Chains A and B, each alone.
Chain A
Amino acid sequence: MSLLSIHDLVAEFDSPSGIARAVDGVSFDAQPGEIFGIVGESGCGKSATCRAILRLFGGAPARIAGGRILLDGVGDLAALHERQLAQVRGRDVAFIFQDPLTALNPTMKIGRQITEVIRRHQTITRAKARAAALQLLRDVHVTSPERRLDSYPHELSGGLRQRVVIAMALALRPRLIIADEPTTALDVTVQDQILRLLKERRDRLGTSIILITHDLGVVSQICDRMAVMYAGRVVETGPVREVLDSPSHPYTQALLAALPGQVGREQALTPIEGAPPSLISPPPGCRFAPRCKLAQPDCVIGPPPPLHARDGVSSGHVDACILNEVAYGPA
């Protein structure tokens, strides 16, 4: 039984030049205790997908326009009223944002920002909430946590702030944590500490984590399964080792070829020519076809190809390239 299973999710953003389908028919699921990575370049819809799960669009004029977001034991998050969804946020599903510098309220003390989430979902005294906040800061290895409770965010370093953000996310022991590029704004040594912190949490409490990143190194380091997104669609998904070691979709292959230091291979980097398509009026057929070196005439016809299994093997490694469909037979 999946903890979270997303079916044909569509999310639209209003923009001056039209409606952009940032998420266009995305499906994937996250198992209990699993770290699921979503990778893709900027604007591919990975962040929008995850924000759509909790309907946190940052004040942008956006909405879920289709699909289901099934959370085990709760139901379809996409069908919940805002008020019901607020009960789920923070308690069942927590969110970690990209930039710890802006994710904390600059005018509120750290302690209050942590106890706020506890007191929202539990009836608990101020003193007990504060004690819990202190313990949370210890859990995420914040040094001299008593002092930090009464600090303001600007008095903390970026790494410490991200630990505070994580502490807030962990506060109610949610079953699922969605982390939107949690390490992108941090320097490399701190990145590693934060990733280990998340992994430690999963190992100890079995918390599922959806990790959004554009860093394939991060994915190979801590994720169990992954999805590759391009122009609002998932193009390939499967166990991390399989996807990274034998990528089957041309986009994933191109992405890996563009990666520096691809484990000691002495070869020049291969950039992907061109730019991602417009999400307002995307091309028919495969979205990657205009940039794909292997593209055939059939690639630009009809609706975008769905994901299909590779070779009938049930490893869960699937991709959305029609060339593979020809090679392996229809799913």
Chain B
Amino acid sequence: MFLAILKRLLMLVPVLIGITLISFLLLQIMPGDPASRAMGSRASAEDLQAMRELWGLDKPIWVQYFYFLRDCVTGSFGVSIFHKQPIITLVADRLPYTLAIVLYSTVIALVIALPFAILAAANRGRFLDVAIRQIFVVLIALPPFWLCYVLILWLALNLGMFPTGGVGTGFFANLYRLFLPSLVVGLSTAALIQQSLRAALIDAMKADYVDTARAKGLRGYEVFLRHILPNSLISTISIIGVRVSWIIGGTVVVEKIFSVPGLGSLLIDSIVSRDLPVIRGLTVFFAVMVVTVNLIADICYALADPRIRLE
């Protein structure tokens, strides 16, 4: 197990080199001059030139790329032109909020999806099943930004139950303040999990080993909890894994609307200010997170299903 994980981590190296190359080259294509953005429109030509030299923007592309690689390897991921801080520091400040939304929304999604998946599977083909499916299909289809504003208008402004945005200090303050943004992300995740878990449950209910379990005289809930549910959750693990790695990059809109100072907000701000090192650094960082989440999902999968071994 340990060796397999180590092997997987080593396989990351070529992936990461590829990601740095792509993120670097793509940003070279992006129009806009970082120096003039940072200095303002009234800066003199000399000042702009000095700025470009300072940040190495006058060097050939391949030299810039190696600077970037060096920064990635040394762990700073470069220095922000706008914030004048190592990117790793910026990330460290903001990562907790993004991670909080990722985890919080996944928990919310599971809490919503689990009972409805069970309810739908138990009533498959009947009205309840169809109704639940329709509602969750709508949830998938709703654009998150719209949902954000509806929730803000309704729960925050009209009913005053939640703040319209921002974060607090301490675990419980943020549990409260991050609820709406996490709910928005969690609802569409819930819809995905509900659909896949419902299908997995229906499959498992037909499985021969369920008949075996019933033939032993087990009660309905025993058959469900010991035999049907564990086997259905296995296929859901991979869905959750894929979804979580999507959320990591997908919180951008939600963070912006709810004024959460997470990685998504940082990314948007950096794009607006043409803060190339930050965009590049974040791209690499997101990639690392996605790959890590997939690895964790694979480990969970291997732990849940004895037939699967990490290779």
A residues contacting B by CB (< 8 A) are 54, 56, 58-60, 82-83, 86-91, 94-95, 97, 99, 102-108, 116-117, 120-121, 152, 154, 165, 168-169
Contact = CB atoms under 8 A, between A and B. Distances in A.
B200 to A, nearest CB: 13
Most buried by A among B206, B218, B234: B218
A48 to B, nearest CB: 13
Contact of B209 (A54, A60, A90, A103): A103
Contacts of A87: 217
Given A106-B306, A107-B234, A107-B306, A58 B217 contact: no
Contacts of A58: 206, 208, 210-211
A98 to B, nearest CB: 8
Nearest to B307: A154
Contacts of A60: 206
17 contacts: A56-B211, A58-B208, A60-B206, A88-B217, A89-B217, A90-B217, A97-B208, A97-B212, A102-B208, A103-B212, A106-B209, A106-B231, A107-B304, A108-B227, A152-B306, A165-B212, A168-B212
A107 B217 contact: no
B227 A104 contact: no
A250 B209 CA distance: 38
* Nearest 10 A/B pairs, CB to CB: A90-B217, A117-B216, A95-B215, A89-B217, A102-B208, A59-B206, A90-B216, A152-B306, A105-B209, A59-B205
Contacts of A152: 306-307
Given A107-B234, A154-B306, A154-B307, A86 B218 contact: yes
Interface of B: 205-220, 222, 226-227, 230-231, 234, 304-307
Most buried by B among A54, A58, A59, A91: A59
A168 B220 CA distance: 19
Given A120-B218, A168-B212, A169-B215, 4 more contacts: A54-B214, A90-B215, A102-B207, A103-B211
B217 A105 contact: no
B208 A99 contact: yes
A88 B216 CA distance: 9
Nearest to A51: B211
A107 B216 contact: no
A22 B304 CA distance: 38
Contacts of B211: 56, 58-59, 95, 97, 103
A230 B207 CA distance: 27
B212 A86 contact: no
Contacts of A169: 215
Nearest to B208: A102
Nearest to A83: B219
Nearest to A101: B208
Contacts of B231: 105-107
A183 B130 CA distance: 41
A60 B212 CA distance: 15
B205 A86 contact: no
Contacts of A117: 216-218
Contacts of A97: 208, 211-212, 215
Nearest to B203: A59
B305 to A, nearest CB: 6
